[in-house]
Structure 1
Amino acid sequence: MTETLSTTFDPAEIEARWYAHWEANGLFRPERPDAEAFTIVNPPPNVTGSLHIGHALDNTLQDVVIRYERLRGKDALWVVGTDHAGIATQMVVERQMEARQDKRTNYSREDFVAKVWEWKATSGGTITNQLRRLGCSMDWSREQFTMDPHFTKAVIKTFVDLYNDGLIYRDKRLVNWDPKLKTAISDLEVETQTIAGSFWHLKYPLADGVTLPDGRDYLEVATTRPETMLADMAVAVNPADERYASVVGKHVILPLTGRRIPVIADEHADPELGSGCVKITPGHDFNDFEVGKRAGFAPAEMLNMLDAEANVCQTADGLVPEEFLGLHRFKRDGVDGARELVVARMKALGLLIPHVTKNKDGEEVEHDAEPRQIATPFGDRGGVVIEPWLTDQWYVNAAELAKKPIAAVRSGDIQIVPKTWEKTFFNWMENIQPWCVSRQLWWGHRIPAWFAEDGRCFVAETAEAAQALAGEGVALTQDEDVLDTWFSSALWPFATLGWPDETTSVRPEPVEGPHFSSEVKDGASTSSARTGLLQKHFPNSLLISGFDILFFWDARMMMMGFYNMGQKPWDRLYLHGLVRAADGAKMSKSKGNVVDPLGLIDQYGADALRFFMAAMESQGRDIKMDEKRVEGYRNFATKLWNAARFCQSNGIGASDTIKAPPARLAANQWIIGEVGSCVAEIEKAMADLRFDAAANAIYQFTWSKFCDWYLELIKPVFAGDADSPPAVETRAVAGWALDQILVMLHPFMPFITEELWHKLGARPYELILAQWPAPEAEVSKEATDVIDWVIDLTTNTRSAKNELGIAPGAKLAAFLAAPSNVATRTIERSSAAIERLARLTPVTIGEAPAGPAMQVIAGEDVFVIPLEGIIDIAAEKARLEKALAASQKEAKSLEGRLSNPAFAEKAKPEAVEKARADLAHHAGEVERLTAALARLG
């Protein structure tokens, strides 16, 4: 029995009730064993996380796709899970311990990890519950976690396989070291900030009585990091710099340490920058590390002057003065650090070259350093300045693993959407550096490597297997480090589906070193070797992610997909933009412009927020947050609710047909044709991953075609006999059309559509399991042309009235001198509709009387509407001309401002954008007012 719709639409109650029902009844993954698979995996959010606006965008787009494919009858699987987030999670637990005056080192590794698991059990589900509030139809019955036993097995197997194939190795290199977290982090986890700093100029005395051609007995070097001179190993000059040609191969005596270091020639030194001399500290600078290698310094020989907390330690040659040992690199808590002491000692020795400026009186003033704005690397988690640090770490040969992904994207086997991101992808992948995968943490996948006392390393999946490799009696100690979180999440597309258990072997056997093919052991094909979920759902169909994790995660999944599975992880990769503040600025807590999606859901409902996200997502462009538009989409939901109430009150309810009902009335044929057009428009948009176009199609159809026009057109049908053939037909067509709206709108607004689906009549299944529209109807073009003509006439008449300030309800006489066939038919048969909608009566076929009038066009027909006695023609002309002149003047001024290169370059982006918007507005006004004046003749 149909339940009467309430007068108000309350999203909160509907959302909570329906989501619980869907999940409890397993409707997010119905049993469809014979259906075509469609698979997406969610970028696993950190287990420490909570829903932010970026998550809302990312997961809305994924849910739109998965609900759409489910409605199309596919075995649609949306894999869901969370990432163990090594650094973030350890930080959270350690902060909680600090609040209790406790610390990690008070516990054994095993006991601390147990505490992290306890935290995960009680607090690790925050974001998954929030994803439910957004309406995400994920397969929660198979929720994954990157530290689950089966996932750990996959991670360990991959590491061991890579090692055995020579693709993973241990090396001494510079890493981005976070002194607060005391771990290496990747380049992608480093945020460069521009901060106020200094440029110091120092004298490095030349050794052995050598002088420069100008008589100087020192080289001048400039640095923003004077403390690192304690580990300098050379001074570099450009080989083409004639000023220093005579001292290349000579030496300087490094101040403070007395270290004798060479003067070397290297292209890294820029003759145009400073003095042209560059101090080389290969153990604490990435560029210097490469210069040092070119100069013949082996990494093992490079000097390290800092410990894990960025305090000064003794270098291998023992030449750092004792007074520096133990000092922090920077001033901290009011205590001078190594930087301050180095500057003070150099100044005392007369080896600090002052920076000279002039005061307001023209007098020279000496300063220790030149102030500079310096690009400085910070850890995105620890929040402190990153220190390039020379240490032993585990590396993956990313350049080798990148070859197959590069080829796949280049050939089109993997499509990146938007295609413009391909250039960025190729640039990074073709210049990729070794991937440091070890982290100095306790929480994470511990590296499966064991060391003997003599330094030999044994890599195996278990301690027992490592012992077997080492032999009996060899004492082994497991590596203390854990793997980079991105190493495990790179396995997400297939490890979540049961790999490696659900396969005999899908990793190609290495032949003469690492290679990649589709062959597996025993000659079995990759596809025949896989079973169950893995066989059906890998490769995945699509990946949706923010462009900011293209290299963190997406590219690495490609590498591991080809390595472990012998093929691509998914067919297409869609990269969306960022959600920015209303002014276009990046959201950040420090700016106070962060928008809480849960607050928006509380205020406007999840459906409104979801529709905003989809409607604004335009092929990877950033989205500007606009709460007014979210409110507007809440109004859209209310409009649909009220339209359903109107239908219900007129006996229009649930349809029992997928195919369009038979229809004779022009309005009914017209709406059936419009449903078909909307279906086709959405299908094309979804095939192209144009979320904005798909959302706009269903929005315009629902609001304009169905609510504003169709319901208005059919109102007279219900004024007469409720059992008449036209009324019976119209109820059937209207109920069917409303059903199609609910199905097409469901991927975007799942809650209100499911509620209306059931409130409009008894259903054998939930809307989430309905069938995608298939109208299968042919409609009369003659009938639809009539409706299109009436709509055109009505729209243009209303617009003309608005331009001339005529009341919308005013009835006006109209003349049509040479009517088209469609005009003749419509005026003869539907004059009542023309009067009711366009407010034109009478309509006369013939010439209009002389006098002021306006013209309104409908299709090929030009109506003349006399205005004598309707408005003051002279006053209206004067008003329009005044407004036209004002808009023309403003448009000209804005054009001049925007064409000035200085304005575009120097003005704030939001000011430039506002000027463009204002120009568009005034240009539109010029066009509108010109047309209005033309109407007056």
Structure 2
Amino acid sequence: MTLDKNFDPAAIEARWYAHWEQSGQFRPERGDAEPFTIVNPPPNVTGSLHIGHALDNTLQDIIIRHERMKGKDALWVVGMDHAGIATQMVVERQMNERGEKRTDYSREDFVEKVWEWKEESGGAITGQLRRLGCSMDWSNERFTMDEGMNAAVLKVFVDLYNDGLIYRDKRLVNWDPALKTAISDLEVETRDVKGGFWHFKYPLADGVKLDNGQDYIEVATTRPETMLADMAVAVHPSDERYQSVIGKEIEQPITGRRFRIVADEHADPELGSGAVKITPGHDFNDFEVGKRAGFAAAEMLNMFDAEANVCQTEDGLIPDEYIGLHRFKRDGVDGARELVVQRMKELGFLIPHVTKSKDGETVEHDAEPRTIATPFGDRGGVVIEPWLTDQWYVDAKTLAQPAIEAVKSGAIEIVPKTWEKTYFNWMENIQPWCVSRQLWWGHRIPAWYGPKAFSPEEKLSPHWPDLSFDVSDDFATANSTLLNDEVFVSESEEDALAQASIYYSDRIGSREIVVVENRLSAMKVILSGELDLKKTIPIWRDSDVLDTWFSSALWPFATLGWPRDLVEESVSGEPVEPRLSNEKHPSTSSGLTAKPGSDLARHYPNDLLISGFDILFFWDARMAMQGIQFMKEVPWKRLYLHGLVRAEDGSKMSKSKGNVVDPLGLIDEYGADALRFFMAAMESQGRDIKMDDKRVEGYRNFATKLWNASRFCEANGIGASKTLHAPDAALPVNRWIISEVTETLASLDKALGDLRFDAAANTIYHFTWDRFCDWYLELIKPLLQGEDKAAADETRAVAGWVLDQIIVMLHPFMPFITEELWHSMAAETGGREYDLIVAKWPEPKAAVDKDAKAEVDWLIRLISAVRAAKVELNIAPGTKMTAHVRDGDDSLKDRIARQSAALDRVGRLESVSFDPAPEGANAQIVIDGATYVLPLAGAIDVDAEKARLGKALEASQKEAKSLSGRLSNPNFVEKAKPEAVEKARADLADKEAEAERLQAALARLG
């Protein structure tokens, strides 16, 4: 025999994967075939395989292997994301361990070190994906920072800018003071934090009083430190308490700043005093109130630097004692919050929170204790600060409209459909997308700045250079594109210089244009006299990089050769150079199309995207927007959103809980095939999956079952089939199993077509285990070992063909064991001409034989009923019995005659007679209207068995009655733990079923 006695996954997995990859089996090289394309969500270069990756990539691999076997030119694009923040954190952490920091190096040197880290340590996950069996096109592996992707990113940015869809704006962002960069809403996680709710008096200016004679307005806040940048107090327009003071001024006690009381519906009259302090530079709601009150973003006060330490506002009104303090208490040192509360209390403007002690005495507290939902950066781990900065934004609202229509029209099908509502809700309320990040690792923004020029008379702006803003750190210099700077957006420095030369020569005459490091450098060389503005103009590049998701949004087309393989529609094969202009011009993608025969033309749009629902807005929606914008077609035709893998108890996995499951550990223990099959069998259209090691072990047992069945076939002369179509068959059992293959294949194809992974997995599982291994192989043993050579030869041919079909149908789910069996089963006949991975998907070309199905289904039901009766009556399984048939017709006699060998060998019925049964105890089975009487004389002691069954029935009924009584008691149902109630209900159902079975057994005995 060629198959080892024991199935050992580890022995075959590495060998077969290396063979597939080295022989180029993952490459799409069927140029005349219909293409099928999937792109994988690129994992972070810093990442390692987690259980979510295992699910996501298993589902993709099932589909790509299925489509490849159906003869399609299947491409699964693979790559990694450069993971801007995560990667920079990893490298900086390693530097810190060596006593170094990023700023010890130039930007270029630091980036070079990141590339070194990437080559040496990054991308470990690619090897782990191989262990999972993912048949990706590694020969064309992509990276979001590779040369081709970089070209795509630059072009997209420039084109969007020229189309007015990218712009620079001053807005509030989620600022991470630990990382010193803006992050997106999607990278903010909310945690409940114990905090306080402080109440303060804000005195009315100029002797103004409320109608009740009060000379102050009460405001309450959870962030007292921000009062240093307050710019208004808001009250509801209909709040009668404040009608007389709307438009009047407050004089803030600490800063002395005077500001107006404004009417705005943001203030809730039912909440507290109904008055709200407004800090538009440090609160998202206040920002909108400030805009409605007439404040331009440039006028809004910013009281924090990049590390969330207090800095002076433009009006210079923050007292010196606050400057440099951190916003919160840190390392035992009071921060701005503590000092603000202390000073307001000293000034008599703190309204204490009053409670009663246990003794009934009045107790005053500075603040009312509150649990506050607080935003934290998911990577930096500190409280996010809403911060007013200049950033780059994408007009997501405009880009979202075609992507919304694509789903509404059916151009994109979302599966399951229930996610459409969530998609529409987010897309229809989408906010501008902040795409700039204050990092060194990433795609540097292709924008250069220089002094704004107005006219030959004014020469340059009279305000430039302007040293009035803070230039103390790298962020400030990078973030200082003020109204007095001109921007030149271009894919190259050469083009930026050309744009700048045209711009200045048109306005102030010809000047030499030189590139300096940043805005601060430009000011220094001008003020030092090294550079004469009458002869030379400095420009400098934006030091920000783009949000990582900006580049990954281009994944479906940039990985296929865009923009390299773009040509003019009218001039095939000739690339079009982007036009140069000092003014904005339409995007250079207009009028271009994919070069005929290129991967871009052949594989865009992709056919399917599979992703977790948790990145629907991080990635999926952004790909839809960018794909339609630049390719004028949707990026993929279908979007499948799967659920999350949770711990066994249903809770979310986290390192802090210690319930994270390592998929590599599961592969080590049970094999990749078992883990993959578990993922498929448990994936039910978007529902979360509960991790269950026992189920994974069960699928390892399933693989072992198939292995042992193959060994049985091998031992009985059953080898690989030589035909794609079903062989000719005369025997009912063979016609039956061919029919079962035909029906299984139809169900499997439908399930995979509908993306019902659970249904697909269960279909092939039950056919393999139940129909083939448990029944067919048992039923054909008499044929294989009988004297009828023709019957044996037919059966071997059919059995070999069926095993081939199982191996092929199971391959997308369990690629390793199936590839091994595919070759091993053919070893004695000269081997296979090709690998299973590229074998044809089954084509039985056989109709379902209803007569054969009816006969074998009858046989299986009869044998199953006999076995069940033996179990109920405590008869040993191997005991031979006889049967006497009542109410049978001639066709039943013919069936019994044809199946006599199987009834004897498998059913342990040594004879089946149509004569009357002898007197005495018997068991009776009814199948299709005929009664089979099984005499029990000699098989068991009937009286003893009746006594045993009666005693067991009485016990079961007693336990069922007790459980029913407990569940009828409202005190138990309402007060017991839910799991205890659920267990009682399950136990009751078990006992009732057991009692029913015992009653049936007693009835059989008469």
TM-score after normalising by structure 2: 0.88
Query: Which secondary structure does the structure 2 equivalent of 1:171 belong to?
Result: strand
Letter in 2 for 1:807: A
Q: Give the Cα separation in 2 of the matches to 1:779 and 1:383.
A: 62
1:661 Cα deviation from its structure 2 partner: 1.0
- Find the counterpart in structure 1 of residue 383 from structure 2: 385
Q: Give the Cα separation in 2 of the matches to 1:554 and 1:536.
A: 21
Select between 575-584 and 244-253 the one with higher mean Cα deviation.
Answer: 244-253
Q: Give the Cα separation in 2 of the matches to 1:505 and 1:181.
A: 44
Select between 446-455 and 853-862 the one with higher mean Cα deviation.
Answer: 853-862
Contact 2:782 2:901 in 1 (8 A): no
Match of 2:789 among 719, 724, 728: 724
Distance 1:693 1:180, change over 3 A: same
Q: Give the Cα separation in 1 of the matches to 2:635 and 2:314.
A: 47
Contact 1:803 1:929 in 2 (8 A): no
Match of 2:88 among 68, 87, 90: 90
1:598 Cα deviation from its structure 2 partner: 0.4
Q: Give the Cα separation in 2 of the matches to 1:690 and 1:406.
A: 25
1:823 Cα deviation from its structure 2 partner: 3.5
Q: Give the Cα separation in 1 of the matches to 2:929 and 2:645.
A: 45
- Find the counterpart in structure 2 of residue 144 from structure 1: 142
1:828 Cα deviation from its structure 2 partner: 2.6
1:784 Cα deviation from its structure 2 partner: 2.5
Contact 1:167 1:514 in 2 (8 A): no
Match of 2:152 among 129, 136, 154: 154
- Find the counterpart in structure 2 of residue 172 from structure 1: 170
Contact 1:82 1:146 in 2 (8 A): yes
Distance 1:892 1:163, change over 3 A: farther
Q: Give the Cα separation in 2 of the matches to 1:836 and 1:353.
A: 92
- Find the counterpart in structure 2 of residue 880 from structure 1: 953
Q: Give the Cα separation in 1 of the matches to 2:972 and 2:28.
A: 58
Q: Give the Cα separation in 2 of the matches to 1:928 and 1:382.
A: 58
Distance 1:481 1:886, change over 3 A: same
Q: Give the Cα separation in 2 of the matches to 1:323 and 1:804.
A: 91
Query: Which secondary structure does the structure 2 equivalent of 1:102 belong to?
Result: coil
Letter in 1 for 2:559: T
- Find the counterpart in structure 2 of residue 595 from structure 1: 661
Distance 1:776 1:243, change over 3 A: same
Distance 1:851 1:295, change over 3 A: farther
Match of 1:678 among 740, 744, 761: 744
1:826 Cα deviation from its structure 2 partner: 2.5
Match of 2:906 among 832, 837, 849: 837
1:28 aligns with 2:26: yes
Match of 2:543 among 464, 480, 491: 480
1:924 Cα deviation from its structure 2 partner: 5.3
Match of 1:755 among 788, 807, 820: 820
1:926 Cα deviation from its structure 2 partner: 2.3
1:350 Cα deviation from its structure 2 partner: 1.8
1:839 Cα deviation from its structure 2 partner: 3.2
1:772 aligns with 2:838: no
Match of 1:14 among 12, 15, 20: 12
Gaps of 5+ in 1: none
Q: Give the Cα separation in 1 of the matches to 2:598 and 2:155.
A: 20
Contact 1:237 1:265 in 2 (8 A): yes
1:922 Cα deviation from its structure 2 partner: 3.6
Q: Give the Cα separation in 2 of the matches to 1:884 and 1:752.
A: 48
Q: Give the Cα separation in 2 of the matches to 1:237 and 1:849.
A: 98
Contact 1:503 1:530 in 2 (8 A): no
Select between 751-760 and 843-852 the one with higher mean Cα deviation.
Answer: 843-852
Contact 1:792 1:859 in 2 (8 A): no
Query: Which secondary structure does the structure 2 equivalent of 1:541 belong to?
Result: strand
Q: Give the Cα separation in 2 of the matches to 1:422 and 1:790.
A: 48
Contact 2:607 2:638 in 1 (8 A): yes
Q: Give the Cα separation in 2 of the matches to 1:895 and 1:383.
A: 50
Match of 2:808 among 726, 743, 768: 743
- Find the counterpart in structure 1 of residue 516 from structure 2: none
1:244 aligns with 2:242: yes
Match of 1:492 among 555, 573, 584: 555
- Find the counterpart in structure 1 of residue 600 from structure 2: 534
- Find the counterpart in structure 1 of residue 712 from structure 2: 646
Match of 2:886 among 805, 812, 817: 817
Q: Give the Cα separation in 2 of the matches to 1:331 and 1:867.
A: 86
Distance 1:368 1:867, change over 3 A: farther
- Find the counterpart in structure 2 of residue 696 from structure 1: 762
1:213 Cα deviation from its structure 2 partner: 2.7
Match of 1:808 among 850, 864, 877: 877
Q: Give the Cα separation in 1 of the matches to 2:896 and 2:420.
A: 57
1:850 Cα deviation from its structure 2 partner: 7.2
Contact 1:86 1:443 in 2 (8 A): yes
Q: Give the Cα separation in 1 of the matches to 2:872 and 2:247.
A: 84
Distance 1:264 1:621, change over 3 A: same
1:244 Cα deviation from its structure 2 partner: 2.0
Select between 440-449 and 192-201 the one with higher mean Cα deviation.
Answer: 192-201
- Find the counterpart in structure 2 of residue 826 from structure 1: 895
1:467 aligns with 2:493: no
1:633 aligns with 2:706: no
Distance 1:409 1:652, change over 3 A: same
Letter in 2 for 1:461: E
Percent of pairs with identical residues: 67
Considering only aligned residues, what root-mean-square deviation do their CA atoms show, in Å? 2.5
Q: Give the Cα separation in 1 of the matches to 2:247 and 2:10.
A: 77
Match of 1:356 among 354, 363, 376: 354
Q: Give the Cα separation in 1 of the matches to 2:774 and 2:336.
A: 74
- Find the counterpart in structure 2 of residue 713 from structure 1: 779
Query: Which secondary structure does the structure 1 equivalent of 2:906 belong to?
Result: helix
Select between 270-279 and 299-308 the one with higher mean Cα deviation.
Answer: 270-279
Letter in 1 for 2:239: D
Query: Which secondary structure does the structure 1 equivalent of 2:354 belong to?
Result: strand
TM-score after normalising by structure 1: 0.94
Distance 1:280 1:823, change over 3 A: farther
1:820 Cα deviation from its structure 2 partner: 5.5
Query: Which secondary structure does the structure 1 equivalent of 2:65 belong to?
Result: helix
Q: Give the Cα separation in 1 of the matches to 2:114 and 2:971.
A: 57
Cα deviations by residue, 1:444-503 (Å, 9 ceiling, x for unpaired): 000011100230111111111112111153321110100001000000000000000111
Select between 669-678 and 866-875 the one with higher mean Cα deviation.
Answer: 866-875
Query: Which secondary structure does the structure 2 equivalent of 1:402 belong to?
Result: helix
Contact 1:804 1:932 in 2 (8 A): no
Query: Which secondary structure does the structure 2 equivalent of 1:646 belong to?
Result: helix
1:37 Cα deviation from its structure 2 partner: 0.4
- Find the counterpart in structure 2 of residue 798 from structure 1: 867
Q: Give the Cα separation in 2 of the matches to 1:31 and 1:146.
A: 24
- Find the counterpart in structure 2 of residue 558 from structure 1: 624
Q: Give the Cα separation in 2 of the matches to 1:364 and 1:737.
A: 85
Q: Give the Cα separation in 2 of the matches to 1:371 and 1:804.
A: 69
Q: Which has the larger radius of gyration?
A: 2
Q: Give the Cα separation in 2 of the matches to 1:879 and 1:335.
A: 74
Contact 1:854 1:936 in 2 (8 A): no
Letter in 2 for 1:714: I
- Find the counterpart in structure 2 of residue 106 from structure 1: 104
Letter in 1 for 2:498: A
Distance 1:389 1:730, change over 3 A: same
- Find the counterpart in structure 2 of residue 57 from structure 1: 55
1:895 Cα deviation from its structure 2 partner: 7.9
Q: Give the Cα separation in 1 of the matches to 2:987 and 2:767.
A: 26
Cα deviations by residue, 1:895-931 (Å, 9 ceiling, x for unpaired): 877997x77xxx9xxx647755763564355245325
Select between 77-86 and 837-846 the one with higher mean Cα deviation.
Answer: 837-846
Distance 1:199 1:431, change over 3 A: same
Runs (4+) of structure 1 exceeding 6 A deviation are: 506-510, 513-516, 849-852, 895-900
Contact 1:813 1:840 in 2 (8 A): yes
Aligned length, in residue pairs = 921
- Find the counterpart in structure 2 of residue 375 from structure 1: 373
1:215 Cα deviation from its structure 2 partner: 2.7
Query: Which secondary structure does the structure 2 equivalent of 1:504 belong to?
Result: strand
